[in-house]
Structure 1
Amino acid sequence: MKISTKILVLLPVFIAFFSCDKALEEDPQNKLKPETVQDYDELLNYGYPTTRDYGTEVPLDFYVEMMTDDQDLSYFNQDANEYAIHPFSFEITHEHSSMMRGYDQAWKNFYEAIYYANVIVENIDGAEGGTAAKNYLKGEAMVLRAFSFFKLINLYAKPYDPGTAASDPGVPLKLDPIVQASSYTRNSVQEIYDQIDSDLTEGTRLMEENDQRVQSKYKLTPVAANLLASRVALYKKDYESVIEFATKVTGENSQIFDISGTTMEEAQTGWGYGQGTHYLSPDNDNVLFVYGSNEYYTYAYLPGALGVSDDFMNTFEPGDLRLYYFSYVKGPQGRIYFKNRPFPNRTGEPVRGFRVEEAYLNRAEAYAESGMLREALDDINYIRRFKFDAQFDEEDGNYYRYSVSDYSGKEEVIDIVREERRRELFGEFHRWYDLRRYGMPEIRHQYNDETYILPAGDPRYILQIPQVELDFNPSMEKNPR
C-alpha cells in the first residue's frame, strides 16, 4: 500500500477526534498505520501548521494582525470591509463563521498539527529504518508540537506571568493520538509552557545529535528550533535563555536580507513589486523556515480594504528602505503592503517564516531588559545597516546607527528595540503577540465616523474558546468577556 493511501486511512481518526460530535466518543479500531521512517516523514507533513482544510483553505490567525495598531481600513472596497470590520473592531466571534468559513480556525488547525506530531512521537520508534533517522524525525515532531501549543496558548490564554501561570487557564494538553470518550478540560498556562520547554529541549537535542542536514526551507531544522526556543524564552521573560538560544542561531547563520543597495528613488518606483516580492523568499539565506500556504482570505481584501496605519508609517526614518518594501501609497485605496509576497505571482499573499533577523531582535530585547544596552544597540544596528539606503547622507544625522550615549537609560533603549522589532517584522504575525506581552496597551481604530477602542488590558486580548468546543466540553472554562 502506498504511503498516500495510508495517510488517507489515518484521516478518519483525526476527523473523529476533532469533529466535536458523537464521533469523538468512538475509538476507531483497526486503522492502518505507516510502517517505515519514510512513511512517517511524509505523514509529519500534516504536523506543519497550515491553512489546509482537506482541499480548501481557511485562515490560521491572520485576524489578530488586523486587530493591531499596524492596520487600517481603507474606504475603497465596502464589500470587503463588511468582513474586515469584525476583527478591525475587535469583535471576533464564531457567529461570523458563515461569512468566510470562520475567522478563527487556529484552534482546529493547530490541534490537527498536534495530532499528527503525536502520531510520530508515539510510533516512530517501532518503524522500519535507521536509528538516527527515527530520532531526528521524533525530534522534529516534538518541536512542531511545541510550536503548535505555543501558538494556541498565546491565542486563547493570558500572557505568561510566572506569578499566576500555575493557576491561569490555558488550553487542553493532548500528548497522545488516542481518542478519549471523556470531555477535555484546560490545563494551566504553566503546564502548557512546561510541555513546550520539554518538547523543545528534547526535540532540539534529538535533531542536533542526529542531524540529517535537511536542505528544504519547508522543514524545521535545528537552527530554526533554536530560534523558536529564543522566542518562547522571550515570551516568558527568561532573558538569559533568550540570549543563549539566539546566539546559537546567529552562530550558525548571521545573514541579514540586504536591501541597502537600493536607492530611495528606486524603491519608490514600480509600486514596490520588485522589492517586496522576495523579502520572505525561501531562496534568501536569512530565511530559516517557511510554513503555511497563502491564505487567500487573509488579504483578499487588498488592495480594497486593509492598509497600513499612520501610526506605523510614522515610525520610519528618512533613508529606511523598508517603508517602500512594505507598502506604497495610491490614492483612495489606502496604503497597500507587499512584503509578504513570497513568490512573484500576485500581490497580497503572505507566507509565514522564521528569519535570522528575529534572532537578533529577540537577543537585543533580552540584552536591553538585562541592562546590557550597548549589546542591545549593537544587534539593532547590525540589522539596520542592511535596511537603509547606503547612499543616504550620514552627515545630516538621519542614518541607521543608534548610540547608547543618545539615550538616558534602559527604558528608552527598550523602546528603541521594540520599535525596530515592529518595523522589521511587520506583517509577519508578531505584532499582536508582542502587544500582549508588552502589557496589552489600548488600541484605537478609526473607520468612517466610528472609533473602535480596545481598552488596555481588555479581555479581548485573549480569544474566546471556539463555541463548538465549549458546547461539546461543558466543563471547559470560557474566557471572560
Structure 2
Amino acid sequence: MRTIDLKYYRFFLLLPLFIGCSDFTDITPKGQSILNKVEELELLLNDEYTQLQSWEAMYLVNDNIPAQNILDLITRHENGMPTVESVLLTWDETVDRTTITQDPQQNLYGAFYGVIGRIANPIIANVDQATGSKTKAAQIKAEAYVLRAFFHYLAVNFYARAYNPATAAGDGGVPYMLEDFPINGLAEKRTVQEVYQFILEDLESALELDALPENPAGMRVGKAFAYAVKAKVLMAMRDYAGADQAAIASLAINDRLLDHRDDRLAIPMPPFDIPFFERPRFNEEELFYQVSSFTMRYIFSPDLLASFDPNDLMLKYGELENNVATYLTGGVLLNQGGNMTSLAGVQAWFHYVMAGDFKIHYSINSLTTADMYLTRAECLLRGEDANIPAAMEILEKLRERRIDPAGYTPLNVSTKTEAIAALKQVARCENFATSKNFIDMKRWNATEPEWQTTLTKTLTLAPQGFMPRGGNPMIGWDPIPPVTTKSYILRPDSPLWIFPFPQAATNYNPNLTQNYD
C-alpha cells in the first residue's frame, strides 16, 4: 500500500473532526496511510477552494483599480518603492518583480498546488487500494484527475507563456505534480508543451473512468465541467475543432443560462424600493463553484464599466450599477479617511463594494456554461472560413439575456474584425471579477495580430483632494484644481503577462527559474 507522509499532508490530521465517533476506536498501524477507506478519501473533496482570488490578474487587465490611495501608490512607485499593486497599476516593465515582497495570503501558486497536493494526489494515490464502494471510488478518482488537470491549467496560464505551437516545446512552464512525487524532492519545471500534455492525459483518464455525475453538487466536479476544462485546454493549444467538440459535449449535459430579464431575480432594495439585481449563488450556469474568502473592496475601472452595454441589467440594477453610487462613494470618501480621494472621478466611475455585500456570486477562476458558449463562438470565428452569423447568434443569445429588453439592440456586425471585437466585449462582461479575462487576453495576445489588444489607461489625479459638489457630499465630489493625468500602455507581448513565481517557492526550489525575460 502506498503511504502518505503526514508532515506533507497535514490536512489529513483534521479528518477525525469529520468522522463519526465510532471511527475514533479504529487503530491505524504505524507507517500506514490513514486514508484507506473510500469514504475517508471523499472527505478531501469537501473543500471550499478559498484563497484563489487573483487581484493581480484583474489589476493587469484594468478591470479593477487597487483599493488604495492611488496618488500615494504612484508617488512611491516613481520614487523607487514599487509594490505588486503599483507595478500592475502602472504597467511598469522595468521593475524586478522578484524583489517585491509578496503577500503570502495571496500566494496563488501555493493555493493551486495546495489543491493538487492535499486533495487530488492523495485520492489518486490511495483510492485503488481503499476499501469501500468501487463505484464511488471511480467517481472520486475521476474528480481528482480533473482537479489536478484544472489547477495545473491555471498555474501554467499564470506563470508561463501562453501556449504557442511554434515554441511550446522549449518554453519554460511549471511543475506537474503527480501522485508519486517524492516528499523530499525538488519539483522539476516542465515545458509548456509537457504541462499541457499531462493535463490532457489527466482529463482523458477522468473521462475514461465514465464515473463523473451529470448533476453534481455545486462544489463538486461533474462531467460537464470535465469537458469544459478540456475545451479550454484545447482552445489554448489552438486545436479549435477539438475545443468545439468538447464545448458541445459540455453543453449537451448542461446548456442552461441565467436570464437576467427574469423578474424573479430583481429584488426591491429598501428604503426606496429601487429594483436590485442579485445573481444567485450556486446558480445553474456554474459548472464548478469556487468561493472567495476575501474581504477587500472591489473598485471597478471606468474601462470595465464602459465595456458594458448601458442597458445591462447588472449595470443598471445590480452590484455594478452606478446610478446611486454618488452617495455610496460619498460615504467612502468620508469614512475611509480620504483613502480614494486622490483619484478624480471616483464617484462616477467606481462602485464601492465590500465582499459581504458583493452578491453577484461569481466563481473566481472556474468555468460556466457561458464560457462554453463563448468557446463555441470563438471556434466559429477561427480560420479563413469563419462563420460570422453563427458566432453572432451565440453572442446575441448571451446579450439578450443580460440586457434590459427596453434597451436591447442586436450588434450590427458584418466583418470578422467586428465579430472578434464583439466576442471580446461580451467575454469581458461575462467574466468580470474573475481571472478569466486575464487568461483570455493573454492567449489572444500571444502571436495573432488580429486578436491582439494594446491596453491603455489614463488616471486623473487630484493632489489637493476633493470638495463636496454644491456643498452637499451626498450629491458627489469634485476634484480641487489643479489635477494631473498619468497615461500608461500595456503591450500584447509585455513580460507582465507572465507572473513571477513567488519567493515562498523559489527560495526553496532552484529549478523554478522565472519564465519572463
TM-score (norm 2): 0.73
Aligned length: 429
Runs of 4+ residues over 6 Å off in structure 1: 74-83, 265-274, 338-341
- Alignment match, 2:301: 308
Q: How far apart in 2 are the matches of 1:255 and 1:348?
A: 17
Structure 2, unmatched stretches of 5+, are 12-29, 77-82, 327-345, 447-452, 462-484
Residues 260 and 313, structure 2, Cα contact 8 Å, conserved in 1: yes
- Alignment match, 2:482: none
Q: 1:300-379 to 2 correspondence within 5 Å?
A: 300-302=296-298, 306-309=299-302, 311-324=303-316, 325-329=318-322, 330-331=325-326, 332-333=346-347, 335-336=349-350, 351-352=363-364, 353-370=366-383, 371-379=386-394
Q: CA deviation at 1:253?
A: 2.2
Q: CA deviation at 1:144?
A: 0.2
2:401 maps to 1:386: yes
2:63 maps to 1:67: no
Which secondary structure state, in structure 2, belongs to the residue aligned with residue 354 of structure 1? coil
Residues 364 and 379, structure 1, Cα contact 8 Å, conserved in 2: yes
TM-score (norm 1): 0.78
Q: Match for 2:456 among 434, 441, 444?
A: 444
Q: CA deviation at 1:414?
A: 1.9
- Structure 2 vs 1, CA of residues 121 and 335 (structure 1 numbering), >3 Å: closer, same or farther? same
Residues 58 and 64, structure 2, Cα contact 8 Å, conserved in 1: yes
Q: How far apart in 2 are the matches of 1:412 and 1:120?
A: 47
- Alignment match, 1:463: 499
Which secondary structure state, in structure 2, belongs to the residue aligned with residue 327 of structure 1? coil
Task: Give the counterpart letter for 2:311 in structure 1.
Answer: G
Q: How far apart in 1 are the matches of 2:429 and 2:507?
A: 41
Q: CA deviation at 1:68?
A: 0.9
Q: CA deviation at 1:179?
A: 3.0
Which secondary structure state, in structure 1, belongs to the residue aligned with residue 288 of structure 2? strand
Q: How far apart in 2 are the matches of 1:430 and 1:271?
A: 35
Task: Give the counterpart letter for 2:321 in structure 1.
Answer: Y
Q: How far apart in 2 are the matches of 1:271 and 1:355?
A: 34
Residues 247 and 376, structure 2, Cα contact 8 Å, conserved in 1: yes
Q: How far apart in 1 are the matches of 2:251 and 2:32?
A: 44
Q: 1:88-103 to 2 correspondence within 5 Å?
A: 88-90=89-91, 93=97, 95-97=99-101, 100-101=103-104, 103=106
Q: How far apart in 1 are the matches of 2:179 and 2:263?
A: 51
Q: CA deviation at 1:475?
A: 3.8
Residues 309 and 403, structure 2, Cα contact 8 Å, conserved in 1: no
2:203 maps to 1:191: no
Q: CA deviation at 1:95?
A: 5.0
Residues 143 and 212, structure 2, Cα contact 8 Å, conserved in 1: no
Q: How far apart in 2 are the matches of 1:172 and 1:253?
A: 32
Q: CA deviation at 1:294?
A: 2.4
- Structure 2 vs 1, CA of residues 39 and 346 (structure 1 numbering), >3 Å: closer, same or farther? same
Summarize deviations over 1:145-201 as a string: whole Å, max 9, x none. Answer: 001100010011100011111110101122125435443331110000001111112
Which secondary structure state, in structure 1, belongs to the residue aligned with residue 487 of structure 2? strand
Q: 1:31-430 to 2 correspondence within 5 Å?
A: 32-45=33-46, 49-51=49-51, 60-72=53-65, 84-90=85-91, 93=97, 95-97=99-101, 100-101=103-104, 103=106, 105-115=107-117, 116-206=119-209, 209-212=210-213, 215-261=216-262, 275-278=276-279, 281-282=281-282, 284-296=283-295, 300-302=296-298, 306-309=299-302, 311-324=303-316, 325-329=318-322, 330-331=325-326, 332-333=346-347, 335-336=349-350, 351-352=363-364, 353-370=366-383, 371-392=386-407, 399-402=408-411, 406-407=413-414, 409-430=415-436
Which shifted more, 375-384 or 438-447? 438-447
Which shifted more, 446-455 or 421-430? 446-455
- Structure 2 vs 1, CA of residues 464 and 73 (structure 1 numbering), >3 Å: closer, same or farther? closer
Q: How far apart in 2 are the matches of 1:213 and 1:256?
A: 16
Which secondary structure state, in structure 1, belongs to the residue aligned with residue 402 of structure 2? coil
Q: How far apart in 2 are the matches of 1:464 and 1:125?
A: 37
- Structure 2 vs 1, CA of residues 165 and 451 (structure 1 numbering), >3 Å: closer, same or farther? same
Q: CA deviation at 1:140?
A: 0.4
Q: CA deviation at 1:433?
A: 1.1
- Structure 2 vs 1, CA of residues 197 and 85 (structure 1 numbering), >3 Å: closer, same or farther? same
Q: CA deviation at 1:231?
A: 1.5
- Alignment match, 1:12: 7
Which shifted more, 326-335 or 421-430? 326-335
Residues 88 and 445, structure 1, Cα contact 8 Å, conserved in 2: no
Larger radius of gyration: 2
Structure 1, unmatched stretches of 5+, are 1-8, 17-28, 52-58, 393-398
CA RMSD of aligned residues (A): 3.6
Q: How far apart in 2 are the matches of 1:205 and 1:102?
A: 37
- Structure 2 vs 1, CA of residues 270 and 429 (structure 1 numbering), >3 Å: closer, same or farther? farther
Q: How far apart in 2 are the matches of 1:272 and 1:233?
A: 47
Which secondary structure state, in structure 1, belongs to the residue aligned with residue 514 of structure 2? coil
Q: CA deviation at 1:356?
A: 1.3
- Structure 2 vs 1, CA of residues 80 and 249 (structure 1 numbering), >3 Å: closer, same or farther? farther
- Structure 2 vs 1, CA of residues 318 and 13 (structure 1 numbering), >3 Å: closer, same or farther? closer
Q: How far apart in 1 are the matches of 2:398 and 2:360?
A: 25
Q: How far apart in 2 are the matches of 1:109 and 1:120?
A: 18
Q: CA deviation at 1:350?
A: 5.8
- Structure 2 vs 1, CA of residues 136 and 146 (structure 1 numbering), >3 Å: closer, same or farther? same
